[in-house]
Chains A and B, each alone.
Chain A
Amino acid sequence: MSRGTMPHPGAWADQSCVEKPAPEPGPSSPRMTRAAAPEGGKAAAGGQPRAAVRCPAEQEEDMYRDEYEIEKEKELLIHERGSSEPRLSVAPEMDIMDYCKKEWRGTTQKATCMKKGYEEVSQKFTSIRRVRGDNYCALRATLFQAMSQPAALPTWLQDPELTLLPEKLISKYNWIKQWKLGLKFEGKSEDLVDQIKESLTLLRKKWAGLAELRTAEARQAACDELFTNEEEEYSLYEAVKFLMLNRAIELYDDKEKGKDVPLFSVLLFARDTSSDPGQLLKNHLNQVGHTGGLEQVEMFLLAYAVRHTIQVYRLSKYSTEEFVTVYPTDPPREWPVVTLIAEDDRHYNVPVRVCEETSL
């Protein structure tokens, strides 16, 4: 498994400065609903009004539906369409090669490349879980993997100073008030400091709760319950985004003082659109969850924010040394590792590994 090479400054100038991630469609993105259709096939198939399907024996009944029946059918249709939106933000696992065969049927060069990539992944992972494809998917996939792993509560989360961070930073840097909250929180009149503090507290509380569960199954089930497209889930993302901003501010200050900083932070602030943390917030972090996901250099920032090493199988880079890219490039040994899969660098899914126990 090769480590991803650090892109040299020239490469960044070509790529991320100019290119903004293509705006992804809203919450019910094609990926999730397309994949959901086979599973929810019974419920959502064509939305055929039930009343129209009658068996021959019942032909004596009045074929014309009255106003009341028509209204009832409309309600059923809406209900069915609504329920075809999966509740779980991370779908149940499915065999990885089955998934690959379904998604990539053709014989184009790209399809072949993807199939080879998935085959390689299947050497270490048996299954894949699709992640809801809105612009939170990088955060979602990473956080889901980190929280569902059987490991103790990270020490940085145990720090009591954590919840004092919003107060500290926002009073110091007024521009943080330009923070754009997620759609689920729009219209809330709560003070930003309180909002973020609540999110951080929730992150710690939920993570600690998961860490206390004894078996891997219980932890996985509880994690599934947390990621159910409700306000709670999105509150966690506000916390993570804030932690990313916090780290960015730290790194920027260190850089200004002439201290040694990791290379990615130099590149992060070398972009025209994020020459300082304020710009980073306005032009980048504020878009995450709305009109854009995370760019490559921001994946490094995410890793630093949650102190987890993010290992990504980048299928589009199959047969190059970037096939498995590790964020950050030289991770500290004590950071837990989470693994993600990305076909292009826009959407992330999570692989699931087999854990055998054999009795002798």
Chain B
Amino acid sequence: MSYIPGQPVTAVVQRVEIHKLRQGENLILGFSIGGGIDQDPSQNPFSEDKTDKGIYVTRVSEGGPAEIAGLQIGDKIMQVNGWDMTMVTHDQARRRLTKRSEEVVRLLVTRQSLQKAVQQSMLS
């Protein structure tokens, strides 16, 4: 998916609903994020476009809430509970995902394998 900042984005998205797990004081999701408009996009191993400053899933804990919900490593997070995640700083992204008042976060993600699968089926 090529991404030109400011232009409308067309993407195939997958809904992922994560139910956070309570561990003592904390609510954990079981995955890690990289990226953000304040970060170096060329370091991202998952993006197709090396200028893409979006938020990507860099790790998924085995058996954790995110894995159970179907989140995969390399997924790009487009939205969290309706909030845009394509033009946020790394810290803003962290905050949007870790709100104490929200036990469930509904993510919209894009996945390269999904994109390709849809493209393939459209061609046949």
Inside 8 A of B32's CB, which chain A residues have their CB? Answer: 357-360
Inside 8 A of A333's CB, which chain B residues have their CB? Answer: 51
Determine the distance from Cα of A175 to Cα of B32 in the docked complex, in whole angstroms.
Answer: 58
Inside 8 A of A353's CB, which chain B residues have their CB? Answer: 39-40, 43
Q: Are A151 and B50 in contact (CB under 8 A)?
A: yes
Among A32-67, those with CB < 8 Å from B are none
Determine the distance from Cα of A333 to Cα of B90 in the docked complex, in whole angstroms.
Answer: 24
Q: Mark B95-116, 1 if CB is under 8 A from A, else 0.
A: 0011000000000000000000
Q: Mark A322-360, 1 if CB is under 8 A from B, else 0.
A: 000000000001001100000000000000011111111
Determine the distance from Cα of A355 to Cα of B43 in the docked complex, in whole angstroms.
Answer: 8
Inside 8 A of B59's CB, which chain A residues have their CB? Answer: 357, 359
Q: How large, as a class, is the contact surface on chain B?
A: 20 to 34
Inside 8 A of B14's CB, which chain A residues have their CB? Answer: none
Determine the distance from Cα of A124 to Cα of B29 in the docked complex, in whole angstroms.
Answer: 29
Q: How large, as a class, is the contact surface on chain A?
A: 10 to 19
Determine the distance from Cα of A360 to Cα of B60 in the docked complex, in whole angstroms.
Answer: 10
**With an 8 A cutoff between CB atoms, is A149 at the interface?**
yes
**With an 8 A cutoff between CB atoms, is A150 at the interface?**
yes
Q: Are A357 and B94 in contact (CB under 8 A)?
A: no
State the Cβ distance, B27 to closest chain A Cβ, in Å.
Answer: 9
Q: Are A356 and B45 in contact (CB under 8 A)?
A: no
Determine the distance from Cα of A151 to Cα of B43 in the docked complex, in whole angstroms.
Answer: 8
* Cβ contact of A358, chosen from B42, B45, B51, B90, cutoff 8 A: B90
State the Cβ distance, B98 to closest chain A Cβ, in Å.
Answer: 6
| A150-B45 in contact given A358-B32, A358-B33, A360-B94 (Cβ < 8 Å) | yes
**With an 8 A cutoff between CB atoms, is A164 at the interface?**
no
**With an 8 A cutoff between CB atoms, is A216 at the interface?**
yes
Q: Mark A153-171, 1 if CB is under 8 A from B, else 0.
A: 0000000000000000000
| A150-B42 in contact given A336-B50, A358-B94 (Cβ < 8 Å) | yes
State the Cβ distance, A127 to closest chain B Cβ, in Å.
Answer: 12
State the Cβ distance, B109 to closest chain A Cβ, in Å.
Answer: 14
* Cβ contact of A360, chosen from B45, B50, B98, cutoff 8 A: B98
| A356-B31 in contact given A150-B43, A151-B50, A336-B50 (Cβ < 8 Å) | no
Of all A-B residue pairs in the complex, the 8 with the closest CB atoms, nearest first, are: A353-B40, A359-B32, A360-B29, A357-B34, A355-B43, A356-B90, A358-B94, A357-B58
Q: Which residues of A contact B (CB under 8 A)?
A: 124, 149-151, 216, 333, 336-337, 353-360
Q: Which residues of B contact A (CB under 8 A)?
A: 28-34, 36, 38-40, 42-43, 45, 50-51, 58-59, 90, 94, 97-98
